Amino acid sequence: MERSKIETIIVECINSLNLSLVESEKCSNKTENTLFGEGSALDSMGLLNLLMDLEEKLERTGVIITILDDHALSQKNSPFRTISTLADYICRKIENGK
C-alpha cells in the first residue's frame, strides 16, 4: 500500500473521530501538526480510539496489522507524534510483514 493512501486513511479516521468531539478537543488533520503528545488535543483514550478505527479501515483494504504494540510504545520517539510519523511507522510494519 502506498504511503499517500495510508495518510489519506489516517486523515479519514481523524475526521471521523473529530465528529464526536467538541471544538476544543478536535485533533488537527494536517500532516505535520502534533497528533499525540505535548500540544495535542488528543488524549490516550482518543489515540486508542483512533488507532482501533485505523486498524479496521486498513483491514478493509487487506492490510492486517496491530499498530499499538510493545514496539511502538518502546520507541524513543513515538510513532504517534504526527500523521507523517504514524504513516511512516505503518509503512515499516507493512514492509516487515508485521
Which range, 3-12, 62-71, 75-84, has the best average confidence (pLDDT)? 3-12
Residue 68, sorted as left (phi over 0), alpha (psi -120 to 50) or beta, turns out to be beta
User: Residue 6 in contact with residue 90, Cβ under 8 Å?
Assistant: yes
pLDDT in tens, 20-72: 988 888 898 898 889 988 888 888 898 999 999 999 999 999 999 999 988 88
Domain ranges of the chain: 3-95
Q: How far apart are CA 35 and CA 47, in angstroms?
A: 9
Give yes or no for residue 98 having a pLDDT over 70.
no
Pull the grid cell for residue 34: 502534533
Does residue 7 contact residue 31 with C-beta atoms inside 8 Å?
Answer: yes
Q: How confident is the model at residue 97 (pLDDT cuts 50, 70, 90)?
A: confident
Is CATH 1.10.12 the right assignment for the domain spanning 3-95? no
